[in-house]
Amino acid sequence: MDTELEPSNLYPSNCSISLCICTMNRPDELSRCLNTVFQNSERPDEVIVSDDSSDGQPVREVVSRYPDVIYQSGPRRGLAPNRNACIQRVKENYIIFIDDDICVPQGFFATVRRLLLSCDSKTLITGYQMEHGNYKLVPNNSDFWGFQSIPVSDKYCAIVINSTIFPRSLFDRALFDENLRYGSEEIDMARHAVALGYRIIYEDCLYVNHYPSPVNREQYKQFVYASRLYATTKAYWYYERSVAKTLAFILLAPLQLLGSAVRRRDLRAVWGAFQSIALAGQYLFSNSKMSNPKQFSLD
């Protein structure tokens, strides 16, 4: 297979693209993902695969079929740390993150470069993803509880991360919050970017296909609710600087989560809700702010 990267000379050098693919224990999905990337006639300037797998050999074998792809072992602490590990390696001006169960359509990177021609370095461009090839997932803003349920009519404060073009300059000021091992890391980054003065625009011509893999799902499940509680509290306190909303959310959100579990009459769900609340509290009182200030900074 010819895997030589082919950056187009039709576009200025400041439109260069790094594609970052985070993977964990999914060599088959990664193989399909990379195949769709290299089937595109227009390709990214750099492709990085960051591997959180317990055994990296199967992923290394997949990557070896694509000599120009950069392989690195991930930190094995979840998606946000793995994405940050990619950021430390990239060389190009714009970054796209996709998961290993994403397939990019033909013409995807040509669309990206065309959009970049009319974009400035303070703009994130986001699109949508087709779930299972038949459901269109678009970015919605969050409601009070942190659920992304509000259709956007004006200002975007949300992204679909697998179809978002990030200016690399953003990550000089912000990084993915490494407490967010899975869930809410993309809405947290969107809020952080907006708080730093970046704008988010939506382009309906930009999309990817998502075929959710069952691998790792059970492991991820325990983090989803805790991530939402933590990320929403963080948004009200750090990004909106609203003491009232922060206190209201801290008081009401755990009751809302517990009440939802009780109504299901499922003791495992109730216990899971307690665990999520405890884990969110652990995130809030961790020392991550001191160890990585870019996860919180608005400077």
Asked if residue 96 belongs to a domain, the reply is yes
Residues 174 and 244 in one domain: no
Asked if residue 128 belongs to a domain, the reply is yes
Looking at 210, 231, 258, which one is the last position of a domain? 210
Residues 258 and 126 in one domain: no
Condensed to tens digits (0 to 9), the pLDDT of residues 235-270 reads 999 999 999 999 999 999 999 999 999 998 889 889
CA dist 299 and 297 (Å) reads: 6
Structural domains counted in the chain: 2
Residues 136 and 224 in one domain: no
Condensed to tens digits (0 to 9), the pLDDT of residues 109-148 reads 999 999 999 888 899 999 999 998 789 999 999 999 999 9
Residues 61 and 172 in one domain: yes
Asked if residue 2 belongs to a domain, the reply is no
Residues 193 and 241 in one domain: no
Asked if residue 7 belongs to a domain, the reply is no
Asked if residue 90 belongs to a domain, the reply is yes
Q: Are 156 and 126 in contact (CB under 8 A)?
A: yes
Residues 175 and 233 in one domain: no
pTM: 0.90
Residues 148 and 265 in one domain: no
Q: Are 80 and 181 in contact (CB under 8 A)?
A: yes
Residues 127 and 250 in one domain: no
Condensed to tens digits (0 to 9), the pLDDT of residues 70-86 reads 999 999 998 999 999 99
Asked if residue 1 belongs to a domain, the reply is no
Q: Are 25 and 62 in contact (CB under 8 A)?
A: no
Asked if residue 70 belongs to a domain, the reply is yes
* pLDDT reported for residue 3: 47
Closest CA to 160 of 140, 143, 139, 183: 139
Asked if residue 174 belongs to a domain, the reply is yes
Residues 237 and 266 in one domain: yes
Condensed to tens digits (0 to 9), the pLDDT of residues 157-204 reads 999 999 999 999 999 999 999 999 888 999 999 999 999 999 999 999
Looking at 189, 210, 231, which one is the last position of a domain? 210
DSSP states along the chain: --------TTS-GGG-EEEEEEESS-HHHHHHHHHHHHTSSS--SEEEEEE--SS-HHHHHHHTTSTTSEEEE--SS-HHHHHHHHHTT--SSEEEEEETTEEPPTTHHHHHHHHHTT--TTEEEEEEEEETTTEEE---EE-TTS-EEE--SS------GGGEEEEGGGGGT----TT-SSSSHHHHHHHHHHHTT-EEEEEEEEEEEE---STTHHHHHHHHHHHHHHHHHHIIIIIS--HHHHHHHHHHHHHHHHHHHHHTT-HHHHHHHHHHHHHHHHHHTSSHHHH-GGGT---
Range of the domain at 60: 13-210
* pLDDT reported for residue 86: 97
Residues 122 and 230 in one domain: no
Residues 171 and 225 in one domain: no
Read off the CATH number of the domain in which 23 is found.
3.90.550.10
Residues 50 and 146 in one domain: yes
Q: Are 33 and 107 in contact (CB under 8 A)?
A: no
* pLDDT reported for residue 13: 57
